[in-house]
Amino acid sequence: MLMCRDLARIASDYIDGELGTSKVMSVKMHLLMCGRCRSFIGSLRASIELMSAHSSQQLDEDLVRRIDERVSESLNARNSGGTKPE
């Protein structure tokens, strides 16, 4: 018998479709009978969506500026035919 704790341990694998057929069956059986775990899976899914919506927005402007500077230095050195300053 799959207990709630066992299900919590493999919840991500279930959500990502990484479980084998028999494991999937026993998770589904459990979810049919257990509202708490249904709520857990639903909430974990929501957290995952939240994560991907959030983290794609992060950008360190200061780092980007420093990279831009170094890249354009190198590009200029290259395009002017000079040797690259190391």
Q: What is the token pair recorded at 39?
A: 């709520």
Helix (H), strand (E) at residue 56: none
Task: Using the structure block, give the residue that is written with the tokens 């995952």.
Answer: 48
- Least spacing, CB of residue 61 vs other proteins, in Å: 9
The secondary element (H helix, E strand) that includes residue 26 is helix 21-33
Q: Which residues in the 3-22 window bind other proteins by CB under 8 A?
A: 3-6, 8-13, 16, 18
With contacts defined by CB under 8 A, how many residues of the chain interact with other proteins? Answer: 46
Query: Which residues inside 46-85 make contact with other proteins, applying CB under 8 A?
Result: 46-56, 58-60, 63-64, 66-68, 70-72, 74-75, 78-79
